[in-house]
Amino acid sequence: MSKILLLGSGELGKEFVIAAQRIGQTVIAVDSYENAPAMQVAHGFEVINMLNGTELDRIIAKHQPDFIVPEIEAIRTERFYDYEKQGITVVPSAKAANFTMNRKAIRDLAAKDLGLKTANYRYATSADELQKAVQEVGMPCVVKPLMSSSGKGQSTIKTAADIEKAWNYAVEGSRGDVVEVIVEAFVNFNSEITLLTVTQNNNPTLFCAPIGHRQERGDYQESWQPARVSEKDILKAQDMARKVTEALGGAGLFGVEFFLTDEGVYFSELSPRPHDTGMVTLAGTQNFNEFELHLRAVLSLPIAQITLEKAGASAVILASDNSTNPTYSGIENIAGLPKTDFRIFGKPTARPYRRMGVVLANDTLETPIEEIVDRVKKTAILVTVNS
């Protein structure tokens, strides 16, 4: 069986490790702190700064993995090209990991190289450049660090007074050593979706049913599957997702995000790995959840089809305070509910708005999705994270 080195060991990595354990794979989980969620279920672990290329080289040499599976952005990804030359498979590919770890590379690939419809955008490396970029794209606009995740450092500029605050917040929320932001014109969208896209070695690209989601502070709060999308828009989104994932190469699951507007479908972002909004698939909405799909594609196990089995929704359980030993109350309120489940991620510390768990619910495909979303929202607030 294969040895997998997982770079980043959060809740998404934990579910990936569980999927890998079920079919006999060996996983070494890596993160910058001990007892990260995926470490709790892996065969072994390493604690390093993944932006330190020497440290990365050391653990690659030590473990000699068959696969390197990145879960986060803050990695010295340029080293991946060397690892591929050594015969190690980088998931989905060294090119995909490098391009998607930096919003600049993936946005330029989508907009300039592939001609996909995106929001008007500019880049800035200083507060002064940000001022100029905002003038060019107009207000309101959205500012994001080139390297960040889960909404960190993201804010909306509505007036000139917001510009300096937005720059400082973006720099604080940036991962890695890239101090640059992308400034996007605000897209007047009706909804936004994640299209989980599975690329395979020697088999066709597959798509999951679209996932809708709602965000606060740049981070998802609820997601649901299937999202209501017109046939025309879903075909356009699939075409765009196929083009960008084929350009990046390799095999694995990508979370491709789109805005749905009156003017059509806009490409937004892409993650070369399971997506946080895709945790709704843990509710049993599909024949394989997103983590099982990622693993099977990585291992070149053919996936015949992805079938939608149920309608479902997820809602996050958030911490409200800082804690070095978080505990949970109210779980019994969820456990007793029909067609409802939960996951506690096992993060060793908590801070305000940190995602500590998720509530899941499902029902028949005929059930209005709004009913399931409303149920899961009301259920998630029954759980309290205690400091």
Say whether 276 is catalytic.
yes
pLDDT tens digits for 171-182? 888 766 668 999
- Give the per-residue pLDDT at 172: 87
Weakest mean pLDDT among 15-29, 64-78, 93-107, 131-145: 93-107
Say whether 264 is catalytic.
no
- Give the per-residue pLDDT at 103: 81
Say whether 387 is catalytic.
no
Find the catalytic residue in 175, 343, 355, 375. 355
Decide if pLDDT at 219 tops 90.
no
Rounded to the nearest angstrom, the gap between the alpha carbon of residue 90 and the centroid of all alpha carbons in its chain is 17
Find the catalytic residue in 180, 192, 257, 292. 257
Rounded to the nearest angstrom, the gap between the alpha carbon of residue 69 and the centroid of all alpha carbons in its chain is 14
Find the catalytic residue in 71, 73, 276, 292. 276
- Give the per-residue pLDDT at 258: 97
pLDDT tens digits for 364-387? 999 999 999 999 999 999 999 998
- Give the per-residue pLDDT at 335: 93
85: phi > 0 → left, psi -120 to 50 → alpha, else beta; which? Answer: alpha
- Give the per-residue pLDDT at 73: 81
Helix (H, G, I), strand (E, B) or coil at 173: helix
Say whether 149 is catalytic.
yes
Say whether 151 is catalytic.
yes
pLDDT tens digits for 317-360? 999 999 999 999 999 989 999 999 999 999 999 999 999 999 99
- Give the per-residue pLDDT at 347: 97
Say whether 320 is catalytic.
no
- Give the per-residue pLDDT at 104: 87
Residue 252 tokens read as 């694995």
Find the catalytic residue in 2, 53, 129, 151. 151
- Give the per-residue pLDDT at 160: 94
Weakest mean pLDDT among 44-48, 183-187, 205-209, 214-218: 214-218
**Among all chains, which residue has been given the structure tokens 């804010």?**
155
Residue 21 tokens read as 């354990």
**What is the CB neighbour count within 10 angstroms for residue 161?**
8
115: phi > 0 → left, psi -120 to 50 → alpha, else beta; which? Answer: left
Decide if pLDDT at 6 tops 90.
yes
**Among all chains, which residue has been given the structure tokens 């010295």?**
76
- Whether pTM exceeds 0.75: yes
Find the catalytic residue in 174, 277, 323, 379. 277
Say whether 277 is catalytic.
yes
- Interval 265-281 mean pLDDT: 96
- Give the per-residue pLDDT at 150: 62
- Interval 114-142 mean pLDDT: 96
Which of 32-36, 142-146, 173-177 is modeled with the greatest confidence? 32-36
The 8-class DSSP code of residue 153 comes to T
**What is the CB neighbour count within 10 angstroms for residue 33?**
11
The mean pLDDT value of the chain amounts to 95
Find the catalytic residue in 149, 174, 285, 340. 149
**How far is it, in rounded angstroms, from Cα 119 to Cα 47?**
38
Nearest to 252 by CA among 218, 292, 225: 292
pLDDT tens digits for 51-85? 999 999 999 999 999 999 999 888 999 999 999 99
Find the catalytic residue in 180, 269, 290, 363. 269
- Give the per-residue pLDDT at 236: 98
